[in-house]
Chain A
């Protein structure tokens, strides 16, 4: 099987213009949805709203990474690099959050 990344495939400018039009429309809709969620009265506090807004942001990010950065059809090596990045990124967030309450004995809080 030939492993051909998106950048090596034959390109038609018009097909890219159509793709970009669709991506922009979806970005427009998702951005509107994020703003609407932010100003809505969902839930008691901010927790549910923040979760919803970030979920919509992930959809936006998927569009940019998948279609504009061609990540939907890239080489295996790039996926490997990204897998390591995700692992270390989660580790970075996780370790910081785990350390939030991990004060040494005798620490004075103000």
Chain B
């Protein structure tokens, strides 16, 4: 059975079916991310004064990822243009670049997640807070039984609010040292994972969902890059349309990041 309107346009819509389909899908994606963005706005507006974090994320890595995604959006467009002019060799080159850029993006994102997961805030029994990256735990370290020690590379502050704005002059000038803390002196110890506070929760939710979209898009693009040759030989126009549709999804993923980057990293 032949699938209708994979190449030729439907008279009533003026589009081939897959193109209308992807735009409807992208509309639903806008609502998905829109809901999460509105959750972000509510959490931020509702935060106690001075308790919304600033400067917790690495702007350099965020900027590199922004440029990587912008470049990948461009190579995706060029891959489609190469198909349009029937240059399959150039299509392969451009889409190979897209895949490499996407994997680099995911690699950097994984590094950022790892950095947050080894970053700890420790509430001490004397009311102060130790904050820093985990260096080591002694072999007998057990928080429940209050045995052993933990070593962090960071600093100790008087109030949790002092940890919120890492762009403040005090935070910038703070000297970081190796701090060894006995388990008996620890009231609570928690990494900067999703459950740490509302900022990390919405950060991991938004960027995690976005990273899943990147992963899904990369798998589709890889499939067409690796196994698209057969369709290219028999039906190049249909293959070109598939590249256009996957490209539209990829551009949407780039669009989402264009807002995620400033919202999470710069404000």
Contact = CB atoms under 8 A, between A and B. Distances in A.
A96 to B, nearest CB: 4
A64 B31 contact: no
Q: Which of A16, A69, A88, A97 has the most CB of B within 10 A?
A: A69
Given A35-B59, A46-B267, A76-B14, A61 B258 contact: yes
Contacts of B38: 92-93, 96-97
Majority DSSP secondary structure for residues of A touching B: helix
A61 B258 CA distance: 7
B144 interface: no
Interface stretch (B68-76, B112-120, B223-231): B68-76
Interface in A1-26: 3, 5, 7, 11-13, 16-17, 20, 23-24
Contacts, number: 128
A3 B63 contact: no
A23 B261 CA distance: 18
B1 interface: no
Nearest to A99: B42
Contacts of A81: 20, 23-24, 27
Interface in B88-104: 90
Contacts of A73: none
Contact of A75 (B15, B27, B39, B70): B15
Interface in B1-45: 13-15, 19-20, 23-24, 27, 30-31, 34-35, 37-39, 41-42, 45
B143 interface: no
Interface in B175-213: none
Given A3-B14, A75-B15, A64 B254 contact: yes
A31 B63 contact: yes
Given A77-B15, A93-B41, A100-B46, A53 B267 contact: yes
22 contacts: A11-B85, A13-B85, A20-B77, A31-B66, A37-B266, A38-B262, A39-B167, A46-B267, A53-B262, A54-B259, A57-B262, A65-B251, A75-B13, A75-B14, A75-B15, A77-B15, A78-B20, A81-B20, A81-B23, A82-B27, A85-B31, A97-B42
What 7 A-B pairs are tightest by C-beta distance, nearest first? A38-B266, A11-B84, A16-B81, A85-B27, A20-B74, A96-B38, A27-B70
Interface of A: 3, 5, 7, 11-13, 16-17, 20, 23-24, 27-28, 31, 34-35, 37-39, 46, 49-50, 53-54, 56-57, 60-61, 64-65, 68-69, 75-78, 81-82, 84-85, 88-89, 92-93, 96-97, 100
